[in-house]
Structure 1
Amino acid sequence: MSGAGFVLAVNFLIAQCFCMFFLAVSARSRNRVAARWFAGTYAVASLATIFEFLVAYVPPAKLWAILAFAAMLGGMLMLRVGIGHLYGLRTNRWGLAGIFVAFVALDYAIYDLPRGTLAHALPYQTPFAVALGMSAFAAWRARPASFVDRALIVLLALTSVHFLAKAFAAVLAGAGNTAEDYLASQFALVSQSMGAVLIVAVGLMLLCVLVLEIVAEEKGNAEVDPLSGLLNRRGFDNHIDALLAGAGPHGLILCDIDHFKSVNDTHGHQGGDSAIRAFGEALRVAAPPGALAARIGGEEFALFLPNTGREATLLFAQTLRATRAVAPIPGLPPAVRITASFGVAEVTRGEPLRFAMRRADDALYAAKNAGRDCVREAEPPAVVLEVVKRAT
Structure 2
Amino acid sequence: MEVGAFGLAANVGVALLFALSFAAIAITDPGERAARRFAVAYLIGMMTPICELLVSYTGYPAFFSILGYASFLAATLLSAHCIARFNHRHSPHRLLALMFVGGMVVRLAIHDGPRNWLPYELAYQAPFALAMLVSAWGASQARPRRLLTTVLTVDLTVMAIHFPLKALAAVWLGSGETERDYVASNYAVLSQASTGLLLTSVGLILLLLVHEASVLRSRSEANSDPLTGLDNRRGLFARLAPILADADRDGMPVQVVLFDLDAFKAINDRFGHAEGDRVIAGFGAILRAHLPQGAVAARMGGEEFAVMVPGITLDSGWRLAERIRHAAERAGGSGIAFTVSGGVATRAPGMAIEPVLARADAALYGAKAQGRNRVVRASTEPERAAAIMTLDRTG
TM range (shorter): 0.7 to 0.9
Name the SS of the counterpart of 2:145 in structure 1.
coil
Amino acid in the other structure paired with 1:124: Y
Measured after TM superposition, the shift of residue 8 of structure 1 is: 0.9
In the other structure, the counterpart of 2:287 is 283
Measured after TM superposition, the shift of residue 78 of structure 1 is: 1.9
- Range that drifts further, 361-370 or 76-85: 361-370
Distance in 1 between residues matched to 2:5 and 2:98, nearest whole Å: 32
Amino acid in the other structure paired with 1:44: I
Pick one of 323, 326, 344 that aligns with 1:319.
323
2:25 touches 2:32 (CA, 8 Å); kept in 1?
Answer: no
2:142 touches 2:149 (CA, 8 Å); kept in 1?
Answer: no
Distance in 2 between residues matched to 1:81 and 1:311, nearest whole Å: 53
Measured after TM superposition, the shift of residue 222 of structure 1 is: 1.2
- Range that drifts further, 149-158 or 270-279: 270-279
Q: 1:105 to 1:220 in 2, by over 3 A?
A: same
1:113 pairs with 2:114: yes
- Alpha-carbon displacement from aligned partner over 1:60-117 (angstroms, at most 9, x marks no partner): 64554344333322221122222233233334444333333433444443753352x5
Distance in 2 between residues matched to 1:93 and 1:273, nearest whole Å: 38
In the other structure, the counterpart of 1:54 is 54
Pick one of 230, 252, 258 that aligns with 2:256.
252
Name the SS of the counterpart of 1:296 in structure 2.
strand
In the other structure, the counterpart of 1:292 is 296
Name the SS of the counterpart of 2:307 in structure 1.
strand
In the other structure, the counterpart of 2:7 is 7
Distance in 2 between residues matched to 1:194 and 1:270, nearest whole Å: 57
Q: 1:276 to 1:119 in 2, by over 3 A?
A: closer
Question: Map of 1:181-200 to 2, 5 A cutoff?
Answer: 181-200=181-200
Amino acid in the other structure paired with 2:297: A
Measured after TM superposition, the shift of residue 313 of structure 1 is: 1.6
1:97 pairs with 2:101: no
Unaligned runs of 5+ residues in structure 1 are 388-392
1:29 touches 1:214 (CA, 8 Å); kept in 2?
Answer: no
Name the SS of the counterpart of 1:89 in structure 2.
coil
Amino acid in the other structure paired with 1:353: I
Distance in 2 between residues matched to 1:315 and 1:215, nearest whole Å: 39
In the other structure, the counterpart of 2:150 is 150
Question: Map of 1:195-274 to 2, 5 A cutoff?
Answer: 195-244=195-244, 245=246, 247=250, 248-258=252-262
Number of aligned pairs? Answer: 377
Measured after TM superposition, the shift of residue 19 of structure 1 is: 3.4
Amino acid in the other structure paired with 1:214: S
Distance in 2 between residues matched to 1:351 and 1:91, nearest whole Å: 51
Distance in 2 between residues matched to 1:102 and 1:290, nearest whole Å: 53
Distance in 2 between residues matched to 1:268 and 1:171, nearest whole Å: 74
Q: 1:91 to 1:225 in 2, by over 3 A?
A: closer
1:341 touches 1:372 (CA, 8 Å); kept in 2?
Answer: yes
In the other structure, the counterpart of 1:303 is 307
Distance in 1 between residues matched to 2:226 and 2:74, nearest whole Å: 42
2:37 touches 2:82 (CA, 8 Å); kept in 1?
Answer: yes
Amino acid in the other structure paired with 1:109: I
Q: 1:361 to 1:102 in 2, by over 3 A?
A: closer
Amino acid in the other structure paired with 2:167: A
Distance in 1 between residues matched to 2:113 and 2:195, nearest whole Å: 25
Q: 1:195 to 1:362 in 2, by over 3 A?
A: same
- Range that drifts further, 344-353 or 261-270: 261-270
- Range that drifts further, 153-162 or 230-239: 153-162
2:110 touches 2:120 (CA, 8 Å); kept in 1?
Answer: no
Measured after TM superposition, the shift of residue 259 of structure 1 is: 5.4
2:87 touches 2:141 (CA, 8 Å); kept in 1?
Answer: no
- Range that drifts further, 7-16 or 62-71: 62-71
2:257 touches 2:343 (CA, 8 Å); kept in 1?
Answer: yes
Name the SS of the counterpart of 2:110 in structure 1.
helix
1:110 touches 1:120 (CA, 8 Å); kept in 2?
Answer: no
Measured after TM superposition, the shift of residue 223 of structure 1 is: 1.3
Distance in 2 between residues matched to 1:9 and 1:297, nearest whole Å: 55
Name the SS of the counterpart of 1:133 in structure 2.
helix
- Alpha-carbon displacement from aligned partner over 1:217-261 (angstroms, at most 9, x marks no partner): 221221123455432110100112233315544432122344566
- Range that drifts further, 56-65 or 193-202: 56-65
Amino acid in the other structure paired with 2:136: A
Q: CA RMSD in A?
A: 3.6
Measured after TM superposition, the shift of residue 355 of structure 1 is: 4.8
1:113 touches 1:119 (CA, 8 Å); kept in 2?
Answer: no
- Range that drifts further, 355-364 or 206-215: 355-364
Name the SS of the counterpart of 1:304 in structure 2.
strand
Amino acid in the other structure paired with 2:321: A
In the other structure, the counterpart of 1:390 is none
1:31 touches 1:86 (CA, 8 Å); kept in 2?
Answer: no
1:175 pairs with 2:179: no
Measured after TM superposition, the shift of residue 266 of structure 1 is: 7.9
